[in-house]
Chains A and B, each alone.
Chain A
């Protein structure tokens, strides 16, 4: 290297050396400086240093690495792009991270049968980009789709703005190749032949948050582009009116492709960031509504949506003039989380699910939580399917704020659980919400699930400590919550 000396050699230990023998010397990171950026994923409230990062290039390497780590009794975690929002790929400390980002090829494309086979490191958006000229797309569209991997989407059963009509990742997975924690390689789903007898292991693996196996090959459904698409933006002065409009649109029998809501603080964020649309800053909320499908009938649906909005005291409602305007509206929305950086040094995003009709009441409670913990909370909401994302804004440099943010997040989830909802819609449980699993499951129900995990992952060596509460801790959490009166 012409500029900068070569790094001083720090001798790798025996385990690192053996991993290097399996995958190649350059495919293992082990220096502290190289590892530190792996101490968390998109969820930054919890951090732990991995022992090493191993880059694998094929299924056999994954299997060999897993077998070796098993023999040595070393825990390990599969990692994609690290955009997850619940700490699913974050080490507790000392695990080996198996990075799948270099397995990023499309292996097979079969448009006649509407399917594609990709490696786990394949980027979500790339799939749509690579087939859009042929008139096809891949439906699940998490906001991180610019960077997240399909392998990570399978692990987390990721959703996205357009999941209201088209379903989440699990509805689009036809087959998986999985390396089990024993190192064995199994195929599930047989490349998309429907209705296989036996247990639905495909469904079990999808969304298992990397605790049952490491996915090395994925067969996904691809869809034909809708013939027509229209997008509406509606500004409301009152959140209750906006929520009522959401309920009435669904009640009218329309299933929009997407139905998104953002409140005032969220609007402040996106308008201060990279893709401002020019939303009025004084509205209480806006709805972003998209309908798609066969061209005939789209106009009627749009008319009906406009009528519902007007019946609910909308201040202003408009239909996107062209693709450029529609694109900007979506960029503004999809960059919503990252945009919080423009108005706050840190944020914690929650992922509650509630019955749509309870929205005004839940938002009032969230406002109370915001007041109680003295932290601003923005709300971005997949309103159509009741998936709420309160974004708790804080500054980790100020002592006590991180802890308050964490408690406020937990309190938001409690509210969601109490109105008959759930603690996660699409971001997963990970490290973040494992204790909050108690809000929605009894001990027996959790035990039933950990027993299933034990069948695949008996020593909890694959992604340890994730998804389920550690025995004992749950009691403290419950006490804490009842003390706080939530």
Chain B
């Protein structure tokens, strides 16, 4: 163990961020840069087409190159030297939502998500972003997300924007009208920015009663700014269930957005930071499906790094979604009643990415007074997909329309396990003038516990 830790420090300090120039590195057909897509992943694909109808972008366009089978074929075609890494190749690869529905549908377990991310890594090295997109990407992905203090500062500014009256002024003055529609829609539903739990809570929050186990939670980057209330609820629910909750200070953004955008080197840096930050813990719980999935897939990032790979594998085996953890650990059944009708939306990175479908539904159904109504096609992507709704507003909008259309009229709440979906669906609910409240699964459980506690104290 001591040895391992020594190695870890070594590896983590090793700066292998610089990517080698073409020619010096392993080439694979027309992939000229380090970390090329993994041949074995497409070798599993036999071109059967079972994935086609599972793919939201294929459903919308009917185009083969916008399907998982087509994308895998293109990625393979570059390796075979049939086509180049160019803009026409980049389009379908970047139009993928990364929702992983194809992986659920695939009879041969082809890791389409991993292939897409690897291909994006090549594209970003072959065709670096220029102009506004380049500046945006460098500022946001490299300049802000890796630095929690900068995110918190932004959160503070947003809080100021909301509380100072500026938001009201901006909305009234019509200045927002110059924004693109999808950004305007998003501004309209910005949740009230709370204060991050990091700093407000101690590093270790004690369990209620005799501690059963020590767990850590990923507080997340945006999550802790935009949804600090969900983080608070997570801490309360876990401690109420007898778990001591650690909030390791040095943790950072999970890197999912970077890896999705082809910024694999920043993703690796963040991964190393998190592997280090959580090394004292045996269990890392996550309440954001996208982040949880990213943490579980750290080994994919280090597939060509024999030193880091075992560390990444050991780390990813500790990561679990909070709903699955609560279910597996026989969570306390709340006694207080929440009279409400709800439906549950499967976040892609929970259902397809982590195979967690039953557990959150079970938790909800065990809350007295909660009536569950089925959401048709519950595991079809809502269009949020990380920052897909910012980069591809048209496709994201179509998927959101379908999702809102599917929400049964009679429900009062829509529950889910991912902040990205929460923002997106809240936007849809507002856009269509509907009244459903968008909540995180853990929040509902928290409310039930809190109601129970206040009943006992009064």
Contact = CB atoms under 8 A, between A and B. Distances in A.
Nearest to A1: B391
A395 B52 CA distance: 24
A40 B64 CA distance: 11
Contacts of B50: 144, 146-147, 335, 338
A55 interface: yes
18 contacts: A1-B133, A1-B392, A3-B137, A3-B391, A5-B130, A29-B63, A33-B65, A34-B92, A36-B77, A37-B67, A99-B62, A147-B51, A274-B107, A339-B107, A340-B108, A341-B44, A341-B110, A346-B46
A260 to B, nearest CB: 16
Given A1-B391, A335-B107, A341-B107, A83 B48 contact: yes
A31 B92 CA distance: 13
A141 to B, nearest CB: 14
Interface string A219-243: 0000000000000000000000000
Contact of B65 (A34, A274, A342): A34
A261 to B, nearest CB: 19
Interface stretch (B68-76, B144-152, B289-297, B313-321): B68-76
Contacts of A273: 107-109
B390 A4 contact: no
A210 interface: no
Interface residues of A, number: 51
B53 A3 contact: no
Query: Which 3 pairs, one residue from A and one from B, show the smallest C-beta to C-beta distance?
Result: A341-B108, A338-B107, A335-B107
Interface in A23-70: 29, 31-34, 36-38, 40-42, 44, 53, 55
Contacts of A81: 49, 52-53
Interface in A73-95: 81-83
A70 B355 CA distance: 51
Contacts of B83: 32-33, 36
Interface string A328-346: 0000000111111110011
A36 B48 contact: no
B26 interface: no
Interface string A148-167: 10000000000000000000
Given A4-B129, A340-B108, A342-B109, 16 more contacts: A1-B392, A4-B87, A4-B133, A5-B87, A6-B87, A29-B65, A34-B92, A36-B65, A83-B48, A144-B48, A148-B49, A335-B50, A337-B46, A338-B46, A338-B106, A341-B48
A128 to B, nearest CB: 13
Give the secondary structure class of A's interface: loop
Contact of B64 (A37, A275, A397): A37
A275 B104 CA distance: 10
A3 B260 CA distance: 11
Interface in A98-151: 99, 101-102, 104, 121, 123, 144, 146-148
A274 B49 contact: no
A53 B129 CA distance: 30
B52 A147 contact: yes
Contacts, number: 142
A99 B66 CA distance: 14
A7 B106 contact: no
Interface in B25-48: 43-48
Contacts of A346: 46
B449 interface: no
Contact of B49 (A4, A7, A83): A83
Given A29-B63, A55-B62, A121-B62, A147 B108 contact: no
User: Which of A8, A53, A341, A346 neighbours the largest number of chain B CB atoms within 10 Å of its CB?
Assistant: A341
Nearest to B62: A101
A335 B90 CA distance: 31
Contacts of B74: 33, 36-37
A269 to B, nearest CB: 9
A330 to B, nearest CB: 13
A1 B130 CA distance: 12
A2 interface: yes
A146 B58 CA distance: 13
A123 to B, nearest CB: 6
A339 B108 contact: yes
A347 interface: yes
B115 to A, nearest CB: 14
Nearest to A5: B87
Interface string B188-231: 00000000000000000000000000000000000000000000
A146 B108 contact: no
B81 to A, nearest CB: 12
A274 B69 contact: no
Contacts of B132: 2
Contact of B108 (A32, A104, A338, A395): A338
B2 interface: no
User: Which of A7, A31, A36, A340 neighbours the largest number of chain B CB atoms within 10 Å of its CB?
Assistant: A36
B335 interface: no
Given A37-B74, A146-B53, A3 B48 contact: no
Nearest to B65: A37
Contact of A36 (B73, B86, B130): B73
Contact of B88 (A33, A53, A336): A33
A377 to B, nearest CB: 15
A41 B49 CA distance: 9
B109 to A, nearest CB: 6
B172 interface: no
B396 to A, nearest CB: 12
A3 B133 contact: yes
Contacts of A5: 87, 127, 130, 133
A95 to B, nearest CB: 15
A346 B54 CA distance: 22
A32 B109 CA distance: 28
B136 interface: yes
B313 to A, nearest CB: 21
Interface in A320-377: 335-342, 345-347
Contacts of A36: 65, 73-74, 77, 82-83
A123 B50 CA distance: 12
Contacts of A101: 62
Contacts of B137: 3
A42 B391 contact: no
Nearest to B58: A101
Contacts of A32: 83, 88
B89 interface: yes
B250 to A, nearest CB: 30
Nearest to A33: B88
Contacts of B73: 36-37
A2 B133 contact: yes
B49 A341 contact: no
A413 to B, nearest CB: 20
Interface string B92-136: 101000000000011111100000000000010001011011001
A8 B82 CA distance: 19
Contacts of A336: 107
B91 interface: yes
Nearest to A6: B87
Contacts of B127: 4-5
A41 B108 CA distance: 18
B261 interface: yes
Nearest to A337: B48
A41 B73 CA distance: 11
A215 B420 CA distance: 43
Nearest to A55: B62
Contacts of B92: 34
A345 B391 CA distance: 35
User: Which of A37, A38, A147 neighbours the largest number of chain B CB atoms within 10 Å of its CB?
Assistant: A37
Contacts of A6: 87
Contacts of A99: 62
B47 A44 contact: yes
B64 A38 contact: yes
Contacts of A1: 133, 391-392
Contacts of A55: 62-63
